[in-house]
Amino acid sequence: MEEKLDFSKIPFEYPMCLNQQCPKASTCLRQLTAQSIPEDTNYLVIVNPKKLPVQQETCLYYRSNVKIRFAKGFIGILESLPHKQMQVVIARLIIFFDRRTYYRVRKGERLLSPSEQKSILNILRSCGIAQPQDFDAYIEIYDW
C-alpha cells in the first residue's frame, strides 16, 4: 500500500507540480505533494508549467517518492579510533565539509546523504581504517 504524504511534513515552499499527464506523476514527490494539499491552503509554490517537458520520460524537476537511507552522526566511529588516527581523520573531514558543517554532521544535527556517507567511508579507508563501524543512526526519509 502506498503511503500518503502528510502535508505538514513537506518542506516549506516546496515546489509542486500540477502536470497530471506526466508519465512519472504517480512516483513524483512534486505531484504527490500537490495531490495532498489541504482544502484550507490559500497559496502554493508550483513549478512553472511552461518549463515542464511535454510527455517526455526525463524531467529536471522529478523527485522520486522512494525513501532514502540517510545517516545521522558518526561520533561512535571516531571514538573507536586510536587518538592519532582520529586526529588525521577529523582533519580530512573538516577539509571535506568545512569546520561548522563537520561539527553538525558529526553530532547528527544535519543528515548525511548516501553520497556523503560514501565520501566519509572513503576518507576513513584512505586513513587506514578497513572496517569502520556503522554511523550512529540511520533514518529513511524522502529526498525532497
Averages of pLDDT over each 10 residues, the chain, 144 residues: 73 90 88 89 87 74 93 96 95 96 97 97 93 94 90
pLDDT value for 1: 40
Domain ranges of the chain: 1-66, 68-141
Identify residue 108 by its one-letter amino acid code.
Answer: G
pLDDT value for 109: 97
pLDDT value for 20: 84
- pTM to 2 decimals? 0.77
Radius of gyration of the chain (CA): 20
